[in-house]
């Protein structure tokens, strides 16, 4: 259970990467899920396919595509560095980006299902009472889909914590900068006598994963009780 300095660093970095990826991706995932569930527009199928791409592509391919686009020589990467000073390549921010991209389809799927379960007639009723569109979303849709949003967030977080292939391809395996739990475990298993430290990290990975699931269950039950009004 007790981790050495390198282990703690990997654990802290994983949590930072996981939380950042989830929090940044969540609002975008809610918006995309709402578009896919409630709106008809040109290119909807293409958007749907694009969102699901990281789920079906080999993670290494996703990581390489991220490197091509968001790397220092990538068009988007260079643009973001010039305008916002935001660098992804071989930084923890890149690990968070890779984790967020990989978890994104899981979030969108869970939230989209929740939105589709909300009767649009309830939203119509709110509009006839004088609520503009954004207020209807905030006061009716969002509270009703909260369990789905929580489920999506936990799935995204778990994926972010466990993400390996795309991360190591995009930002490599630099201790203290991009070496998350899975990368650290992988690195330890490559050297003789590393099993012991690897097992400790494995236990921590299990604790985080189970803790996240338990927390989301607890929150979802509370929300469901409030919605059902019991």
Partner 1 sequence: MSLSVSIRHRFGDFDLDVAFDAGPGVTALFGRSGAGKTTIVNAVAGLLQPDHAQITLDGTRFDTLPVHKRRVGYVFQDARLFPHMTVADNLDYASRYGARASDRPRIIEMLGIGALLDRHPATLSGGEKQRVALGRALLSNPRLLLMDEPLAALDGPRKAEILPYLDRLKAETGVPILYVSHAVDEVARLADHMVLLAGGRVARAGPLFDVMADPAAVPLLGVREAGAVLRGRVVEHDEDGLSTLQLAAGTIQLLGVQAPVGAEVRLRVLAQDVLLSLTEPQGLSAQNILPVTIRSIRAGDGPGAAIALDAGGDALLARVTGRAVQSLGLVEGQQLFAVIKATSVAQSAISGGAT
- Interface residues with partner 1 (CB under 8 A) are 119, 121-122, 124-133, 139-140, 143-144, 226-230
- Residue among 161, 147, 150 at smallest CA distance from 208: 161
Q: Toward partner 1, which CB reaches closer, 121 or 196?
A: 121
Q: How many CB atoms lie within 10 A of CB 13?
A: 22
Q: Toward partner 1, which CB reaches closer, 193 or 229?
A: 229
Q: Toward partner 1, which CB reaches closer, 15 or 140?
A: 140
DSSP output for 16-74: HHHHHHHHHHHHHHHHHHHHHHH---TTHHHHHHHHHHHHHS-HHHHHHHHHHHHSTTS
- Least distance to partner 1, CB of residue 201, Å: 41
Task: Using alpha carbons, list the distances in angstroms from residue 222 to 30, 125, 147, 227, 229.
Answer: 21, 26, 9, 9, 11
Q: Toward partner 1, which CB reaches closer, 34 or 88?
A: 34
- Least distance to partner 1, CB of residue 131, Å: 6
Distance CA 90, CA 216 (A): 32
Would you give the end-to-end CA distance of the chain in angstroms?
41
* Structure tokens that stand for 79 in this block: 């643009």
- Least distance to partner 1, CB of residue 218, Å: 18
Q: Toward partner 1, which CB reaches closer, 130 or 193?
A: 130
- Least distance to partner 1, CB of residue 116, Å: 16
- Least distance to partner 1, CB of residue 136, Å: 8
Distance CA 10, CA 18 (A): 12
- Least distance to partner 1, CB of residue 22, Å: 24
Q: Toward partner 1, which CB reaches closer, 124 or 195?
A: 124
Distance CA 25, CA 155 (A): 12
């Amino acid at each position: 259970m007790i981790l050495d300095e390198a282990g703690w660093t990997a654990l802290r970095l994983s949590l930072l990467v996981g939380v950042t990826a989830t929090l940044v991706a969540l609002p975008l995932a809610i918006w995309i899920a709402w578009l896919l569930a409630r709106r008809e527009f040109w290119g909807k199928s293409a958007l749907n396919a694009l969102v699901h791409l990281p789920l079906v592509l080999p993670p290494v391919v996703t990581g390489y595509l991220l490197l091509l686009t968001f790397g220092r020589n990538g068009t988007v990467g260079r643009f973001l560095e010039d305008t916002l000073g935001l660098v992804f390549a071989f930084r923890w921010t890149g690990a968070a980006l890779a984790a967020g991209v990989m978890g994104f389809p899981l979030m969108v799927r869970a939230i989209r299902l929740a939105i589709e379960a909300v009767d649009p007639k309830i939203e119509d009723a709110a509009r006839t009472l004088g609520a503009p569109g954004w207020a209807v979303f905030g006061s009716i849709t969002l509270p009703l889909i909260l369990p789905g949003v929580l489920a999506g967030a936990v799935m995204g977080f778990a994926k972010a914590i466990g993400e390996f292939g795309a991360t190591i391809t995009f930002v490599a395996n630099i201790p203290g900068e991009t070496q998350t739990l899975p990368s650290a475990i992988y690195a330890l298993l490559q050297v003789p006598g590393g099993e012991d430290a690897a097992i400790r990290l494995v236990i921590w990975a299990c604790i985080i994963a189970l803790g996240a699931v338990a927390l989301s269950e607890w929150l979802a039950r509370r929300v469901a009780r409030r919605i059902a009004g019991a």
